[in-house]
Amino acid sequence: MNQNLFASFNIPAILGIPLVILIIMLPATFITPTNNLINNRFSSLQQWLIQLMLKQMMITHSTKGRTWSLMLMALITFIALNNLLGLTPYAFTPTTQLSMNLGMAIPLWAATVLMGLRFKTKLALAHFLPQGTPVPLIPMLIIIETISLFIQPVALAVRLTANITAGHLLMHLLGDTTLTLMSIYLSSSTITIIIIILLITLELGVALIQAYVFTLLVSLYLHDNS
């Protein structure tokens, strides 16, 4: 057993040199751009996936919003690959670190807000007041909307961190449980193994979905403010 349950979330270091940069750069090595028309199966599938995500996500945006396509596609690919690679045993997942998620969320969210304030000031400010509110409620509602606006980046980052961290924690816990139960009561450890398998399936889904949700919300903020 590790020192504590959270040891796997420590930043890996060799002799004090943090390796986290290399770990963050690793998923990029799996995306292989080519100039050929006909590629091997791996590249063809990657191309098809990115085209699918692109069409699905950028179709609702205007021309100005579509200038963000590269950013958003890179974002979703990065987060999805990081999450998926974190499922392998003994892997470190960068997206479990709040620092990284905040570093992704705050600039993107701020960019959308500033863009909206700069180009469509009235429309962006009008988002603070939903239509059809009774007049006495207006001051309170504006305060609430402002708070909800400023919570958006924090929510983005914390959502991602919490989901991935929770999943990893559960997997570690169940693994330890199974190991301990194997010497005590074998059949219940088979039950825990089955639970682990189900959990891994869930984790796969969560990994992809969280990436999708992150990117979708950023694109939503963009759509509001483009």
Partner 1 sequence: MLSRVVLSAAATAAPSLKNAAFLGPGVLQATRTFHTEQPHLAPVPPLPEYGGKVRHGLIPEEFFQYLYPKTGVTGPYVLGTGLILYALSKEIYVITGETITGLAVIGLYIFGVKKFGPSVAAFADKLNEQKLAQLEEAKQASIKQIQDAVDMEKAQQALVQKRHYLFDVQRNNIALALEVTYRERLHRVYKEVKNRLDYHISVQNMMRRKEQEHMINWVEKHVVQSISAQQEKETIAKCIADLKLLAKKAQAQPVM
The footprint of partner 1 (CB under 8 A) covers 1-2, 8, 36-42, 44-45, 47-48, 87-90, 171-179, 193, 196-197, 200-201
* Least CB distance to partner 1 at residue 31 (A): 16
Task: Identify the helix (H) or strand (E) that includes residue 59.
Answer: none
* Least CB distance to partner 1 at residue 161 (A): 20
The residue (of 3 and 63) whose beta carbon lies closer to partner 1 is 3
The residue (of 111 and 173) whose beta carbon lies closer to partner 1 is 173
* Least CB distance to partner 1 at residue 82 (A): 16
Nearest 5°: the CA angle 22, 108, 166 is: 60
**Helices 69-85 and 186-225: angle between axes, nearest 10 degrees:** 170
Place of tokens 């990081």: 82
User: In sequence order, which residues have a C-beta less than 8 Å from that of residue 78 and are 6 or more positions away?
Assistant: 27, 28
Cα end-to-end span (Å), the chain: 50
The residue (of 90 and 136) whose beta carbon lies closer to partner 1 is 90
* Least CB distance to partner 1 at residue 76 (A): 20
For 144, other C-beta atoms within 10 Å of its C-beta total: 12
The residue (of 79 and 203) whose beta carbon lies closer to partner 1 is 203
The residue (of 2 and 146) whose beta carbon lies closer to partner 1 is 2
* Least CB distance to partner 1 at residue 172 (A): 6
Nearest 5°: the CA angle 20, 24, 27 is: 145
